[in-house]
């Protein structure tokens, strides 16, 4: 009889413990879902916000104009992740590009090109050290890339014989930035007709 009571008591404890653990799991899952809902950054919203911050228009932007094979316009050191155009009748092309070689991996930028002329370069994503690598994304430095690109294949740092000075103390970040801009330049020159056609414009 005593043994039976102990077995029933043990079974009761097991069931109670199981119910408590299930309840804890449910509560924890609910809390994680709530936190994720309020902290999750939607990539599409992030991209839309960045496009609006680098180019002013009330007409909106096209969706990604890249096709499945267009990434071939970049080499191993950089790549183009997206191509967009404002719906304002201009031939501005906004390229989302990334470059390898940064101290903390890769950097991502937005490059606006119109009629083979770089109008602006802006940071999209970078985890570089504030005060050092981040100096490579200051407007004054990024403006060094502005200008005509019709007769050039890309940019080089001064230490490699080019015209772009590396940011002091941030050579790796400067290198990654060059790689990203060059990816954008090459992609634009290789695919401009297809981009403009997809965006409802012509290269004339």
Q: Please, is 53 exposed, middle or buried when counting C-beta atoms within 10 Å of its C-beta (0-12, 13-18, 19+)?
A: exposed
pTM of the model: 0.76
Average pLDDT on 113-125 reads 95
Sheet holding 93-102, edge to edge: 78-84, 93-102, 105-114, 117-125, 147-148
Q: Please give the structure tokens belonging to residue 176.
A: 């990654």
Higher pLDDT, 156 or 11: 156
Q: What percent of the chain has pLDDT over 70?
A: 83
Q: What are the pLDDT digits (tens) for 48-93?
A: 899 999 999 999 999 998 865 444 444 579 999 999 999 999 999 9
Mean of the per-residue pLDDT values for the chain? Answer: 84
Q: What pLDDT is attached to residue 116?
A: 97
Using alpha carbons, select from 185, 190, 189, 195 the residue that is nearest to residue 78.
185
Interatomic CA distance for residues 85 and 55, integer angstroms: 10
């Amino acid at each position: 009889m005593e043994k039976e009571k102990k077995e029933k008591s043990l079974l009761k404890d097991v069931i109670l413990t199981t119910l408590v653990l299930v309840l804890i799991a449910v509560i924890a899952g609910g809390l994680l879902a709530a936190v994720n809902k309020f902290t999750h950054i939607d990539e599409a919203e992030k991209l839309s916000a960045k496009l609006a911050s680098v180019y002013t228009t009330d007409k909106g932007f096209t969706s990604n104009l890249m096709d499945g094979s267009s990434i071939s316009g970049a080499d191993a050191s950089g790549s183009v992740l997206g191509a967009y155009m404002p719906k304002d009748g201009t031939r501005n092309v906004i390229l989302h590009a990334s470059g390898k070689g940064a101290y903390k991996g890769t950097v991502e930028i937005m490059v606006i090109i119109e009629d083979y002329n770089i109008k602006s370069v802006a940071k999209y994503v970078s985890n570089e050290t504030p005060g050092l690598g981040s100096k490579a994304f200051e407007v004054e430095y990024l403006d060094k890339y502005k200008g005509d690109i019709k007769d050039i294949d890309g940019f080089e740092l001064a230490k490699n014989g080019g015209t772009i000075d590396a940011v002091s103390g941030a050579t790796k970040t400067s290198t990654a930035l060059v790689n990203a801009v060059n990816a954008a330049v090459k992609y634009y020159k290789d695919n401009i007709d297809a981009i403009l056609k997809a965006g409802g414009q012509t290269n004339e």
